[in-house]
Amino acid sequence: MSEYDTSNSFTSAYDNPREDKDCNVNDTPGSTDSTELSSLSTAVFDYIPQAILVLDRSGSTVLVNPAFKKRWVPEDKSASTMSFMDMDIVKRLGIRDVFMSVLEGAICEQQEFTYNPAEEGKTGPIKVYRVSAYPIRTSQEVSHVVFLEEDITREREAEDKAYRLSFYDVLTGLPNRSLLLDRLSQRLAFIQRYPRKDVLVLLNLDRFKVINDARGNQLGDSLLTAVATRLQSIMREADTVARMSADEFALLLPSDDSNSEQIGLTTMIITERIRDALRSPFLIEDESFVVTASFGVTLLPITDDDTPQLALKRADTALHRAKDAGGNQYAFFDPEMGETASENYRVERELADAIRDGQLRLFLQPQVDSAGSIVAAEALVRWEHPSRGLLSPAAFIPIAEQSDLIIEVGKWVLTQACGIIAGCDKAGQMVHISVNMSPRHFRKTNFTLWVKNLLERSGAKPNRLTLEITEGLFIGDMADIVAKMNELVDLGISFSLDDFGTGYSSLAYLKRLPIHELKIDKSFVQDAPTDTNDAALVEAILAVASLLKLRVVAEGVETHLQAEFLNARAHVLHQGYLYGKPESAEKIIERWKM
């Protein structure tokens, strides 16, 4: 094919709009005449590597160049018979909209797309293309639309490279300070709409300079890379690990919580995990190195107008505190939060051992009838801490509830309670025990099966066991909860709704759920004789219970006045210091016999 010969190209079959006098560039300097120019422009059109397609107003093909034909027209087809607007890729890219807007007078419209040959059953590298559409006007209106498709893969690669260079650390491949600042801004914007608190941690290696100075930069670099890799491997996917400077890293830990104590505890767990990870030696150039790190922790945002820079500054202040205190430790910007977090963390760690080492104690508190005889008891757990003495559940149950530890506690308590029921039964004594259930434990898929096995194993009669639940259980899959409760009720277990009156206390629950007993919260019981609102509430609860034929236990009865208030209104069971504080199970069982 000669340079100017277009007979082999598709264009000859069509009316070439560039043959229109207007399209000829006949004012070009030089002496070339118009026929020569025309064939020159045809040649340019033929050799240009970008794919060109010209459509008329109706969307019919007027002209294509060989590059277009090569890319988009199958060998056994002719461009003239193809409807490009109906092609899948054209639809997918919204090219019709591009076409319409150019027809309506837009000067140029562009669309980019990534072409993956594998998706079309072909082979080859993934490419990025840009499609541009330009109008051609005859007189007033747009007569044709020219589509130009360029391969911009290289351009994109260069941009990606530039992006990587400006937002990622060259040595470790981690996000750099700029990207961290950017992510911090994004999170702060997000948090404005969906309030919550994230955590920012600055981590600085202790004594890195000593190693670097003594062993040289190359080894220092290898160590930093190894630390970066290890850090990244233990963080969650949503976390950002960034390299801030030589031996300083930042961790952005997004959360969906706004409870500072809970976040503090989670941060502590993550920080401990990092410290653990750093403890195993790094093998660099056949030599092993142990590094420790100091951590500065802050929450963000702490004010409505918090900024990434301020957050970094706070984390840095905390980091310096950790360094000044000797390194290899963490410090919270807000020391109070640090204290709560480390206290919670300590409790959580120690409690796991305490359960295994037998430091939990089962206490019972009697529930008496109007004649003052014990008819049942509530199991209340205590922790006999080796150095801190007997701990109340308030000191550890809320912390245990934040993880599956509460399930271990719950299993222990239920096992003890069943043991007591079965043991007393054998000795000819009938006892009835109520056990507090945490929602987390109850929701476990195999909970009912576990209870069934426990009953069989221990020989405890199910009708001597009551499970105390709270309204917190009813958040979530109600159908599943009702099914589980029914399964347990079928075994003979009964359910009590604890702290009644403090939550939503929806009457709908009472109708829907197999509940046998209400426990009136102690705050109402204690104030009922003196506060008319509380008195009215207690009376309303008693009326509902009588209507639904539910047993009632009044909690926290401390005075005769409170007892009389209740007795004057209904037959309810009383539980409270007036009849006895929670005491060791053995003591209560002894008392029960009498």
**Residues engaged in binding ligand C2E (CB under 6 A):** 365, 379-381, 392-394, 397, 410, 413, 436, 438, 498-499, 522, 555-558, 575-577, 582
Query: Is the CB of residue 500 less than 8 Å from the CB of residue 468?
Result: no
| 592 phi and psi angles, rounded to 5 deg | -60, -35
Give the one entry of Ca ion, ligand C2E, none that residue 341 binds, where binding means its C-beta sits below a cut-off of 5 to 8 angstroms depending on kind. none
We find the least distance from the C-beta atom of residue 476 to ligand C2E, in angstroms, to be: 17
We find the least distance from the C-beta atom of residue 533 to ligand C2E, in angstroms, to be: 20
Give the one entry of Ca ion, ligand C2E, none that residue 556 binds, where binding means its C-beta sits below a cut-off of 5 to 8 angstroms depending on kind. ligand C2E
- When asked if residue 498 is in the footprint of Ca ion (CB under 5 A), the reply is yes
Nearer to ligand C2E, 109 or 348 (CB): 348
Query: Is the CB of residue 61 less than 8 Å from the CB of residue 55?
Result: yes
Nearer to ligand C2E, 9 or 470 (CB): 470
Nearer to Ca ion, 198 or 498 (CB): 498
Residues 289-318 that bind Ca ion (CB under 5 A): none
Nearer to Ca ion, 169 or 468 (CB): 468
Distance separating alpha carbons of residues 529 and 551, to the nearest angstrom: 21
We find the least distance from the C-beta atom of residue 436 to Ca ion, in angstroms, to be: 5
Among positions 65, 436, 448, 458, the unique one binding Ca ion when judged by CB under 5 A? 436
CB environment 53-67: b (16+ within 10 A), e (fewer): bbbbeeeebbbbbbb
We find the least distance from the C-beta atom of residue 393 to ligand C2E, in angstroms, to be: 3
Q: Coil, strand, or helix at residue 107?
A: coil
133 beta partners? 109, 147
* Bridging pattern class, strands 465-469 and 494-500: parallel
Nearer to Ca ion, 316 or 498 (CB): 498
Return the residue matching tokens 């007979």: 7
Distance separating alpha carbons of residues 50 and 48, to the nearest angstrom: 6
Nearer to Ca ion, 319 or 518 (CB): 518
We find the least distance from the C-beta atom of residue 382 to ligand C2E, in angstroms, to be: 8
- Residue 568: CB atoms within 10 A of its CB come to 7
We find the least distance from the C-beta atom of residue 447 to ligand C2E, in angstroms, to be: 13
Give the one entry of ligand C2E, Ca ion, none that residue 169 binds, where binding means its C-beta sits below a cut-off of 5 to 8 angstroms depending on kind. none
* Bridging pattern class, strands 61-64 and 51-56: antiparallel
**What character string, x for contact with Ca ion (CB under 5 A) and - otherwise, covers 206-225?**
--------------------
Angle (deg, nearest 10), helices 585-593 and 405-426: 30
Report CA torsion sign: 162, 164, 166, 171.
Answer: negative
Nearer to ligand C2E, 328 or 415 (CB): 415
Task: Say how many residues touch Ca ion, by CB under 5 A.
Answer: 4
- When asked if residue 350 is in the footprint of Ca ion (CB under 5 A), the reply is no
We find the least distance from the C-beta atom of residue 486 to ligand C2E, in angstroms, to be: 22
From the list 65-73, 146-154, 447-455, 499-507, the region that binds Ca ion by CB under 5 A is 499-507
Nearer to ligand C2E, 436 or 494 (CB): 436
What one-letter code names the amino acid at 97?
D
Give the one entry of Ca ion, ligand C2E, none that residue 294 binds, where binding means its C-beta sits below a cut-off of 5 to 8 angstroms depending on kind. none
Give the one entry of ligand C2E, Ca ion, none that residue 53 binds, where binding means its C-beta sits below a cut-off of 5 to 8 angstroms depending on kind. none
We find the least distance from the C-beta atom of residue 412 to ligand C2E, in angstroms, to be: 8
What one-letter code names the amino acid at 478?
M
Query: Is the CB of residue 42 less than 8 Å from the CB of residue 95?
Result: no
Residues 6+ apart with CB under 8 A from 425: 431, 459, 460, 461, 464
- When asked if residue 526 is in the footprint of Ca ion (CB under 5 A), the reply is no
Distance separating alpha carbons of residues 349 and 346, to the nearest angstrom: 5
Return the residue matching tokens 């899959």: 477
Give the one entry of ligand C2E, Ca ion, none that residue 582 binds, where binding means its C-beta sits below a cut-off of 5 to 8 angstroms depending on kind. ligand C2E
Give the one entry of ligand C2E, Ca ion, none that residue 514 binds, where binding means its C-beta sits below a cut-off of 5 to 8 angstroms depending on kind. none
Nearer to Ca ion, 133 or 435 (CB): 435
Return the residue matching tokens 């990534």: 114
Output the CA angle 194-196-201, nearest 5 degrees: 130
Give the one entry of ligand C2E, Ca ion, none that residue 485 binds, where binding means its C-beta sits below a cut-off of 5 to 8 angstroms depending on kind. none
Nearer to ligand C2E, 338 or 556 (CB): 556
We find the least distance from the C-beta atom of residue 417 to Ca ion, in angstroms, to be: 13
Nearer to ligand C2E, 145 or 473 (CB): 473
We find the least distance from the C-beta atom of residue 487 to ligand C2E, in angstroms, to be: 20
- When asked if residue 468 is in the footprint of Ca ion (CB under 5 A), the reply is yes
Give the DSSP letter of residue 114.
Answer: E
Q: Determine whether 287 is exposed, middle or buried from the number of CB atoms within 10 Å of its CB (0-12, 13-18, 19+).
A: exposed
We find the least distance from the C-beta atom of residue 341 to ligand C2E, in angstroms, to be: 22
We find the least distance from the C-beta atom of residue 167 to Ca ion, in angstroms, to be: 54
From the list 361-369, 394-402, 416-424, 460-468, the region that binds Ca ion by CB under 5 A is 460-468
Give the one entry of ligand C2E, Ca ion, none that residue 301 binds, where binding means its C-beta sits below a cut-off of 5 to 8 angstroms depending on kind. none
Distance separating alpha carbons of residues 367 and 150, to the nearest angstrom: 83
Angle (deg, nearest 10), helices 177-193 and 308-324: 120
Nearest 10 degrees: Cα torsion 545, 551, 556, 560: 90
We find the least distance from the C-beta atom of residue 416 to ligand C2E, in angstroms, to be: 9
Give the DSSP letter of residue 392.
Answer: P
Nearer to ligand C2E, 314 or 522 (CB): 522
Distance separating alpha carbons of residues 503 and 571, to the nearest angstrom: 24
Q: Coil, strand, or helix at residue 195?
A: coil
Return the residue matching tokens 């490009």: 84
Query: Is the CB of residue 273 less than 8 Å from the CB of residue 266?
Result: no
| 155 phi and psi angles, rounded to 5 deg | -55, -45
Q: Helices (DSSP H) in 23-83: which residue ranges?
A: 34-47, 66-72
Q: Which residues bind Ca ion (CB under 5 A)?
A: 436, 468, 498-499
